[in-house]
Chains A and B, each alone.
Chain A
Amino acid sequence: MGNSGKNRFFALLAGVAGIFLVLLLRLWNLQVIEGPRYRTQSEDNHIRMVPISPARGPVFDRNGELLVENRPSFNLMVLPREIGERGTLFRRLSALAGRDPEALEKNWEKGKRQPRYLPLALAEDVGWERMELLAENAVDLPGVFIEAKPVRSYPFGDMAAHVLGYMGQIAEEELQKNDYEGYRSGDFIGKSGLERALESHLRGEPGNHLIEVDVKGKQLRILRTKEPKPGRQVYLTLDRNLQQTLEEAMGDQAGGAVVIKVNSGEVLAMASSPRFNPARFAQGISAAEWQQLLEDHRHPLSNKVIQGQYPPGSTFKIVTALAALEAGMVKADRAVFCPGQIHIGNRRFRCWRRGGHGWTDLRKALKESCDVWFYQVGFETGIDRISAMSLALGLGQPTGIDLAGEKKGLIPTREWKRRAFKENWFDGETVNASIGQGFVLTTPMQLAVMMAAVANGGTVYRPFLVSRIEDPTGEVVFENKPTATRQNDLQEENLRMMREALSAVVNEQRGTAWRSRLEGLRMAGKTGTSQVVKLKEKILSHKEDEIPYRFRDHALFVAFAPAEKPEIAMAVVVEHGQHGSSAAAPVCQAVFAHYFGVRPAGGHEGTVFEGD
Chain B
Amino acid sequence: MFDRRLLTHFDFFFLLLILAVAVVGIVNLFSATYSWPVSARPIYQKQIFWLFIGLGIAFLLCLFDYRRLRRLAWPLYVGAVLLLGWVALFGKVSMGARRWIDLGFFNLQPSETMKIVIIIALAYYFNDRSHPQGCSLRDLMVPFGLLGLPFLLILRQPDLGTALLVVFIGTTLILFVRIRWRTLLLLGGMAAVTPWLGWFSLKDYQKARIYTFLDPESDPLGAGYHIIQSKIAVGGGGFWGRGFLHGPQSQLSFLPERHTDFAFSVFAEEWGFFGCGVLLFLYFLIIVWGIYIAFRAADKFGRYLSIGVTAMLFWHAVVNLGMVMGLLPVVGVPLPLFSYGGTNMVTTMTGVGLLLNVSMRRYMF
- B-contacting 9-mer, from A31-39, A312-320, A490-498: A31-39
Interface residues of A in 1-47 (CB under 8 A from B): 4, 8-9, 12-13, 16-17, 19-20, 22-24, 26-28, 30-32, 34-39, 41-43, 45, 47
Q: Which residues of B contact A292 (CB under 8 A)?
A: none
Decide: B287 and A115 in contact? CB cutoff 8 A.
no
Question: In the bound complex, what is the Cα–Cα distance between A175 and B105 (angstroms)?
Answer: 14
Q: Which residues of B contact A20 (CB under 8 A)?
A: 280, 283-284, 287
Q: CB of A185 within 8 A of chain B?
A: yes
Q: Which residues of B contact A185 (CB under 8 A)?
A: 36-40
Decide: A32 and B284 in contact? CB cutoff 8 A.
no
Chain B nearest CB, measured from A251 CB (Å): 42
Interface residues of A in 156-182 (CB under 8 A from B): 170-172, 175-176, 178
The answer to whether residues A49 and B37 also contact, given A35-B236, A38-B235 and a CB cut-off of 8 A, is no
Q: CB of B248 within 8 A of chain A?
A: yes
The answer to whether residues A31 and B284 also contact, given A12-B176, A178-B105 and a CB cut-off of 8 A, is no
Q: Which residues of B contact A26 (CB under 8 A)?
A: 325, 327
Decide: A8 and B176 in contact? CB cutoff 8 A.
yes
Q: Which residues of B contact A39 (CB under 8 A)?
A: 235-236, 238
Question: In the bound complex, what is the Cα–Cα distance between A351 and B107 (angstroms)?
Answer: 58
Chain B nearest CB, measured from A266 CB (Å): 28
Contact with A along B27-56 (1 / 0, CB 8 A): 000000001111110100010000000000
**CB-contact partner of B325 in A27, A41, A113, A171, under 8 A:** A27
Contact with A along B109-152 (1 / 0, CB 8 A): 00000000000000000000000000000000000000000000
The prevalent SS among residues of B at the interface is helix
Question: In the bound complex, what is the Cα–Cα distance between A529 and B267 (angstroms)?
Answer: 69
Decide: A19 and B318 in contact? CB cutoff 8 A.
yes
Decide: B222 and A224 in contact? CB cutoff 8 A.
yes
Decide: A27 and B234 in contact? CB cutoff 8 A.
yes
Question: In the bound complex, what is the Cα–Cα distance between A201 and B107 (angstroms)?
Answer: 19
The prevalent SS among residues of A at the interface is helix
Decide: A42 and B236 in contact? CB cutoff 8 A.
yes
Decide: A48 and B253 in contact? CB cutoff 8 A.
yes
The answer to whether residues A24 and B280 also contact, given A35-B237, A175-B39 and a CB cut-off of 8 A, is yes
Q: CB of A66 within 8 A of chain B?
A: no
Q: Which residues of B contact A176 (CB under 8 A)?
A: 42, 46
Q: Which residues of A contact B272 (CB under 8 A)?
A: 31
Decide: A31 and B237 in contact? CB cutoff 8 A.
yes
Question: In the bound complex, what is the Cα–Cα distance between A32 and B277 (angstroms)?
Answer: 12
- A-contacting 9-mer, from B72-80, B83-91, B288-296: B288-296
Of chain A, the residue at the smallest CB distance from B322 is A23
Q: CB of B314 within 8 A of chain A?
A: yes
Q: CB of A117 within 8 A of chain B?
A: yes
Decide: B178 and A8 in contact? CB cutoff 8 A.
yes
List chain A positions with a Cβ less than 8 A from chain B: 4, 8-9, 12-13, 16-17, 19-20, 22-24, 26-28, 30-32, 34-39, 41-43, 45, 47-49, 113-115, 117, 170-172, 175-176, 178, 184-186, 210, 223-224
Q: Can you identify 30 A-B contacts, CB atoms within 8 angstroms?
A: A9-B291, A16-B284, A16-B288, A16-B314, A20-B280, A23-B321, A23-B325, A27-B234, A27-B268, A27-B325, A30-B231, A31-B268, A32-B238, A35-B236, A35-B238, A36-B238, A38-B236, A43-B248, A45-B229, A45-B254, A47-B221, A48-B253, A114-B37, A114-B38, A176-B42, A176-B46, A178-B105, A184-B40, A185-B37, A185-B38
List chain B positions with a Cβ less than 8 A from chain A: 35-40, 42, 46, 105-107, 176, 178, 221-222, 225, 229, 231-239, 248-249, 251-254, 256, 268-269, 272-273, 276-277, 280, 283-284, 287-288, 291, 294-295, 307, 314, 318, 321-322, 325-327
